[in-house]
Amino acid sequence: MRTIKGPAIFLAQFAGDAEPYNSLPGLARWAAGHGYKGVQIPSWDARLFDLAKAAESRGYCEEVLGILSQHGLALTELSTHLQGQLVAVHPAYDLAFDGFAAPEVRGRPQARQAWAVEQMKLAARASRNLGLTAHATFSGALAWPFIYPWPQRPAGLVETAFDELAARWRPILDAFDEAGVDVCYEIHPGEDLHDGASFEMFLERVGNHPRCNILYDPSHFVLQQLDYLDYIDIYHQRIRAFHAKDAEFNPTGRQGVYGGFQPWAKRAGRFRSLGDGQVDFGAIFSKLSQYGYDGWAVLEWECCIKDSEQGAAEGAPFIANHIIQVASRAFDDFAASGVDMDTNRKLLGIG
Q: What is the pLDDT of residue 334?
A: 61
In this prediction, the residues of the chain whose per-residue pLDDT falls under 50 are none
Q: How far apart are CA 156 and CA 153, in angstroms?
A: 8
pLDDT in tens, 244-255: 999 999 999 999
| Number of Cβ within a 10 Å radius of residue 124 | 26
Helix extents (H) in 10-93: 24-33, 51-56, 58-69, 81-85
Q: Report the pLDDT value the prediction gives residue 335, as an integer from 0 to 100.
A: 61
How many residues are recorded in the chain? 351
pLDDT of residue 215: 99
First vs last C-alpha separation in the chain: 34
| Per-residue model confidence (pLDDT) at position 332 | 66
pLDDT reported for residue 103: 98
Q: What are the structural domains of the chain?
A: 5-347 (3.20.20.150)
Q: Say what the pLDDT of residue 330 is.
A: 67
Q: What is the CA radius of gyration of the chain?
A: 22
Element (H, E) at 296: strand 296-299
d(CA 22, CA 42): 13
Bridge partner residues of 296 (DSSP) = 5
The predicted pLDDT at position 254 comes to 96
pLDDT recorded at residue 1: 75
Question: Whole-angstrom Cα distance, residue 82 to residue 87?
Answer: 9
Instruction: Please give the pLDDT value at position 298.
Output: 98
| Residue 170, H or E segment | helix 157-179
List 42's β-bridge partners, or say none: 79
Q: What is the pLDDT of residue 104?
A: 98
Output the pLDDT for position 264: 95
Model's pTM, two decimal places? 0.95
